[in-house]
Amino acid sequence: MIHKKRKSWEITLTNEFTVSDQDIRNGAFSLNAGTIKGWLINAKDGVHPHVDQPAEIEKISPLFDGTVNDFVQKFTGGNGVLAQMKNKVRKCKCGKPNAFTLSTCNSCGADLTQTEISFTNNIFSGFLYGIAKGPFPFRISLRYQAEDIMVFDDLLSLCPLHLNTIPTTQYIPDWRWLLTVPKKGLTLINKLFDQCWEVSKTQFLSNSLWCNKILKTEKVDIESYKNHIVAGFNYPPSQYQLHLQFMMPPLMPYHYFLYLKGAHYTAGRFIPIEYARAVLKSCLSHPYPKKIFSDTPQEQIFDYFKTKGIDYYAIHSECYQRYGDSHRKLANYDRHDFEGVNMRERGNDKLWDLSSKPPQATNDTKTWIAADKLILQNYGRPYVNGKPTGTYYAHAKKKLNVHICMSEDFSSFQVTG
C-alpha cells in the first residue's frame, strides 16, 4: 500500500484559533489547554471511498414476516421468549437507545441523567429469528454469516471499519455469563474476534482505494493492523445478546472528539477483550466462585479478579491510551474533504463554514453530525436511492438454545408455528 505525500496546511479561523496540520489529519483537536475542542464537520459526499457488502450474500426475505410484538404474541408459550426480546435502556431524544447506566448519549453526546429507563426491542434477537421489523425493518448490513455466527456493520458506526459479531445458536445476554464456562467462553470470544479480523482483511484492508484514502500508514503488512484493533463488550449492553464490538481506527472526526472528552469506551462499562480473555483464562484453573445472576454487579467481578492480579481499571486505561495512539497514527483526514469546523466550548457550539472566505460562523451542528455519519460509514453500502441496503439472516432460527451458563431453571425452548 502506498499513500501519496501531500503538503501540510493549517486552518486559521480567527486570530485566536489556528488548527495544525496534524490536528486536521486527526479530524478532532483540543485548543487552549483542552478548554475548547473541535472537529471537522460537514463531510463532502462522493470523495470518501466505501466498502460494499459482499455481492455473494444473497438478499432474502425474513423468516417471520411481522414485528417483534407480533412474534412475542404468537409464541408466548415459548419459555423465555419475552425475556430475549427486550432491552433495558435510556433512550436519548436523538433516538439512540443507550445502556441504562450511561449519563451521556454515546451517539450525540446529550445528557441522559434525567432520562427515564424504558424498554426497546432487542434487535439482535430479531436478527436471529429472522423477524421482519420493529419500528423499522430489521435488515442487516451483513459481512459474513454461518449457522453459528454473524458479522455485520454497526448501524451507529464510530469508525469507518466498525463491525459487530454475535453467536447465533444461543441466547447469551452479556459477557458475564461466560465466567461459568470459561473454556467454552474463551473459545467463543476468540472465534468472534477471528471472524471479524478475517472480514477486515478480506473486505477492507485488501481494498487499496479505501486504505489509501482512510489510512495514513505507508507500505505496511496487513497483519500489522491487528495491533490497532479496538475490541470488547459493553455492560450493560444496548442490545441484550452477546456481541463483540470490533473497530479499527481512525474514528470518525466527531467520535474522536467524543473520545477526547472521555465519552467513548467508558471505564466501568466497556470491557476490552484483553480483560475478558485474562479473566476467562484465570477461571480455567481457578473457577469463579460465585453464581452469576441477572443483577450480579460488574464491580463485584472486577473486585474479585483484582485479588487474582487482574486489574480491570489498569487494563482499561492501557487499552484506552492505545486506542487514541492508534487513531493518531492511522487517521488521514483531509481538510478539503469537509466544509466546516465545529468548535465546542462549555457545551456551546460554533460552526465555521470553510467554504466562505474568510470562514463564517453558523449553527446547524446536529444536522451535520447526522449527515456525516451517512457519508463516512460503510454500513448498508451500497446505498440505493441514497439509503442503506441489507438483507435478513439466511440461517434464522426456529429454535434457539438459552445460553449454557444460565441457571438450570432457564432452559432451552422451542418456537413452532
264 — pLDDT class (breaks 50, 70, 90): very high
**Cβ distance 338 to 40 under 8 Å?**
yes
What is the pLDDT at residue 36? 77
The residue ranking higher by pLDDT, 93 or 165, is 165
CA distance 154 to 141: 8
Q: H helices of 307-362, where?
A: 312-330
AA identity, residue 192:
L
The total of other beta-carbon atoms located within 10 Å of residue 147's CB is: 10
> Once rounded to an integer, what is the mean pLDDT over residues 327-346?
90
Whether residue 382 is preceded by a cis peptide bond, meaning omega within 30 degrees of 0, is yes
CA distance 132 to 64: 6
Task: Give the pTM.
Answer: 0.88
CA distance 42 to 339: 5
Instruction: Please give the share of the chain, as a percent, with pLDDT higher than 90.
Output: 59
pLDDT of 124-151, one tens digit each?
999 999 999 998 999 999 999 999 999 9
219 — pLDDT class (breaks 50, 70, 90): low
CA distance 403 to 233: 17
Residues 6+ apart with CB under 8 A from 218: 1, 2, 3
Torsional class of 231: left (φ above 0), alpha (ψ -120 to 50), beta (otherwise): beta
Give whole-number Cα distances, 413 to 114, 278, 357, in Å. Answer: 38, 32, 65
Write out the H or E segment, with its range, that includes residue 283: helix 273-285
What is the pLDDT at residue 19? 76
pLDDT of 26-69, one tens digit each?
999 887 766 778 899 999 999 999 999 999 999 999 999 999 88
What is the pLDDT at residue 6? 46
Q: Cell numbers of 351, please?
A: 460552526
Q: H helices of 118-181, where?
A: 123-129
Candidate ranges 221-225, 315-319, 400-404; pick with highest mean pLDDT: 315-319
The residue ranking higher by pLDDT, 345 or 38, is 38
Domains of the chain in sequence order: 61-85+122-334+385-414 (3.30.428.10)
